[in-house]
Each structure stands twice: as C-alpha cells, then as structure tokens.
A and B are shown apart, each in its own frame.
Chain A
C-alpha cells in the first residue's frame, strides 16, 4: 500500500474517533430527551434524527454543502466567527459525519434509556439522588451496553461513509480523502490491486466490529 493509502486510513480513523466522541456528547442528552419526553415535538425530532437512515447521502451532503457554504446560514455564522467556511475541510467532514451517523448513536441510546424505565429513577430519588446524580450513578451504568453499541455503530458507520464525504469534503489528500474515497480513486484509475487491499481491509474491519458487537449482546442475554 502506498503512503497515500496509509494517510487515508489515518484520516478515516481520526474522523471516526472525533465524530464518535462528538456524537456521544450530543447524542446522549438528545436520546435521553427522546426517551423521556411526552412532548409533541418527540415525533418530529425523532423523525429528523432518523432521516439519515433513509435519505441518499448525496441529499444530506448537498444540503450540508448549501448550509455550510459561504452563502448558507451556517456558513455566514462560521465566517462571522472567523472560522471561515467548512466545506472541503476536516471540520466540515466532521460536521457531515455527525449528522450522517446521528441515528446510529441516538437510537441505541434511546432504546437503552427506555428499557431502564421509570422505577430506578424513582428509587434513586427516594435515596436522595438528584436528577444529574441519578443520571451518572444509575442511568449510565444501567445503559452501558447501549453506550457500547452506540459508540461502535457510530464509529463503524462513519468509517463506512462515502457520499456525504464526497459532497462536502471533496478529495483533498490528508484533509478529506478518507479510505472510501481513496478506493473510488483507485478504481477510477484501474488500480484494482490497491482497491482490493483497502476494500478487503474495510470488509474485515466492519465484519469484526459487528461480530464483536453481536457476540457480546448474545453473551449478555444468556
């Protein structure tokens, strides 16, 4: 494999790690709210979170490009803050990945929170634990399998993205050229051997991640 291939792998892992970290921070309160709320907004927000599951990545990428671009609302804001415009940068890629992988983190967390139910929270309250205390000392430990699933799926899904990356990241070595794009480039250039190395690597990686995830789940219920 070439240096460009390794650079793409490194960039991909970096992107997935940063994206997963942000998703856990953003997705946890969002999932908690979705699991607990009786608000009429629940349906709307739940649907928005799930959109990346069904939309073509090009659609998400296109709108992100428009929103983050120099004339888009987010673009205006980032420019006003002196951050420049995000498309075709690593930061832009992170934003796109966060949106794209959001349901893969929020949904397992939401399910884990819903499975805990009301009772442990009430028990904690009768044992003097306030809301935040209860969240960290009861909810997080009880929802641990949900957090693991969310992190693994968020990471793996980000590694596997292509369409959104291409739309808002482009193909800039060391900045936005991730493995999936690198494979595309190899194929376009008829470099099938190189494409094989990376593709097989992705395949094995994804299989191992999912295998580990599903084996663990079975172990828990047993």
Chain B
C-alpha cells in the first residue's frame, strides 16, 4: 500500500512493466442455454470495452471479474495481484477485491442519503489505502449539490453519477461498469459521458466498460474486446479492431473508425478547425476546441468515398491521399475498402460497381473523400 495520498493518484504507470500492469482473465462457464469461454488480456490502464450483442457474455465476463459470478477453474490477475486462481485454490470474495462496480440500473442504497451512500464504501477501505478522496470523487462527478438528498429524489442520470462517485471513493484498482448508460435516455447519456471521459483522463484506474452501444465505445474505449456467443471474437486496441474487415463490426450500417488527432489551427472566417493526424489535415466545423488539444474523431465507413485524383470538383473539404490495404465484398452490391493514411486505418464503403469501375485493388494509391467527421472528445 502506498502511504502518500495525493502522490499515488498520478502513479506513473509507464515505469511499471507491461506484465505487472495487465489484467489477465480466463473464465469458462457453462450454464443451461449459455456458455462463456474467454481468455483475455486487458491493458492495465485506459478504458477496455467489452462489446457485443445482448447474450454475448459481456456482462457475465464482467461479473466474473468482480467475483459476483463464480466461474470454476477460472483465473484472474489484476496488475500483478492474483484475485482468482482456482488451480491453486485462490478466490478472493468480491468484498475483498479492491474494485469499483457500477451497475446498469441505479443501485444506490435507498435508505441512505447521497453522502452516506458515498461514504459506505469509502469508510470500509483502510485509511492508508485511500488514494481518491471523497472530495475528489464528488468534484469529478459534479454531485456537490446532491449530497444531502435521498436517492429517490434524484434523476436517473444523477443517480448514476453518484453510483460512479461511490465506486471511485473506494480507491479501486480496477473499475468495472456494466452498461451504466443503458437505462438512460439520450440526454442523460450525454450528461454522463463527459464525466466518464474525465475519469479516463484524470485517474490512473483501468476501466472495463460493458456496452452494446457503438457510440459509447467510440468515445470511451482505448481497447476493445469483441464478444459473440460467449466467445472472444477479437481483442486489441480500438484503432486495430474497428477497421478489421474480417469482423462483423466493419460490416454494420454504422461501421466506423476512430482517429486520434491534435487540434492544429482555427479558421475563424469559415468557423472551421483543422485537426492533424499523421501529418494529414482533417477539417471539422466549429471552433470550440483548444489548439494543441488531443481529440478523437469518428469517421463512418459510409461517409468515405474514393477518387483516383485529388483535383475533383466537389464540396467535400477533406480529400486525403490514402493507400488501399484490402477489400471485402461479402455484402451484396457493396465493397468495403480498408485504407491506410497518415499511419491510421480508415474504412470506405462504396458500391461494388464503383469499385470495379475505378479498378480498386490492394496497394493502389487513391484519394479518400471524407464527407463527415464527428468529434467525439
């Protein structure tokens, strides 16, 4: 246990070896009508999303990580500490695991005020192990005005913010969230997402986030574990997993890639902002970002078309040189093209006819016309 309170919150995780920071989970459960067979390594920092349809086993996997579900023969180590190793008879019950868990629906204790809910977990953690102060958790989630209220007097979004703060106040070494936004409407979701991003940016606590919503994953995740029917279909950094043509993600209507970029300049006259990634410019509308800030942008596959020359009379702002990496023609009438540009992958979904007429083939140099870029954070 570290003794200094404030110093530990900014623990430099780069100096720790990769093996010690990683989360390694191996669980196999077989229930009537459902089976989970997962062996995953997650990074010891940042946000890992467990992504999949309902019934894919993502919540079960999360519950196994928490010890709420007991998978016989399972194994789990978190940043060098073994929490479960049934082969050696090790199983830490949930209440002995230094984790925070946010459930899908509001799970505040109805008999306790917001403040006492927050204190519930914190006061059960030894003083020496407290690295996140109650004040910090309250400030991070912006719940100062709610402290004296009872849970029944809060909106769904407020309850979820309190639940997140309550989990944080236990100074967890691992934060687990089971679709914390799923029960909320779009406005409440939008209200909470910025707070989740702040956790990501300000705390050195790995977050495992279960979701079936691509837009949440796009905004939050650094690492993606794609689950299907209780099995791990793919796992890796989001930049690598999203553009993979062999996965169902790339074939969805809303297939996208995320691009991490830097805010380079503002064009006040046209109210445009120039982002830069891998030496390439990417223009977006609006001026509300700080120059130099790191941002994440999402580009949908259906918003990218291809041209053979740059000089193409068009209203499209972003025309970028790209190289064709691979093609996929699995979907009728459509060709999915994986591009590489500025060191990033991008997907373009074009019609089969266009692909044939332009003679698109791997290795070819083309220009990607990007019709829309959404700034995620």
* A-to-B contact residues, CB < 8 Å: 119-120, 122-130, 133-134, 137-138, 141-142, 144
Contact = CB atoms under 8 A, between A and B. Distances in A.
A129 B103 contact: no
B110 A142 contact: yes
A202 B111 CA distance: 36
B93 interface: yes
B187 interface: no
Contacts, number: 57
A192 B66 CA distance: 69
Contact of A129 (B95, B100, B166, B167): B95
A213 to B, nearest CB: 20
A128 B68 contact: no
Given A119-B103, A120-B109, A141-B111, A128 B121 contact: yes
B68 A127 contact: no
A122 B66 CA distance: 10
A125 B95 CA distance: 4
6 contacts: A125-B93, A127-B124, A129-B95, A130-B95, A142-B111, A144-B111
A125 B167 CA distance: 11
A128 B170 contact: yes
B120 interface: yes
Contact of A127 (B67, B93, B120): B120
| Interchain residue pairs A-B with the least CB separation, the first 10 | A127-B121, A126-B101, A128-B124, A125-B94, A141-B111, A125-B95, A123-B107, A130-B95, A128-B95, A127-B120
A138 B109 contact: yes
Contacts of B121: 126-128
Contacts of B107: 119-120, 123
Interface string B85-126: 000000001111001110100010111000000001100110
Contacts of B166: 127
Contacts of A142: 109-111
Interface string B325-345: 000000000000000000000
A26 to B, nearest CB: 25
Contacts of B111: 138, 141-142, 144
Contacts of A141: 111
Interface string B70-98: 00000000000000000000000111100
Contact of A123 (B67, B93, B96, B109): B109
Contacts of B96: 128
Contacts of A124: 95, 120
Nearest to B110: A142
Nearest to B101: A126
B109 A126 contact: no
Contacts of B109: 120, 123, 138, 142
A128 B101 CA distance: 11
B124 A129 contact: yes
Nearest to A125: B94
Interface string B141-162: 0000000000000000000000
Nearest to B124: A128
A45 B93 CA distance: 29
A122 B67 CA distance: 10
A38 to B, nearest CB: 14
A129 to B, nearest CB: 6
Nearest to B99: A126
Contacts of A120: 107, 109
B87 to A, nearest CB: 24
Contact of A122 (B94, B100, B125): B94
Given A126-B95, A126-B101, A142-B109, 16 more contacts: A120-B109, A122-B94, A122-B101, A124-B120, A125-B95, A126-B68, A127-B166, A127-B170, A128-B95, A128-B96, A128-B121, A128-B125, A129-B124, A134-B95, A142-B110, A144-B111
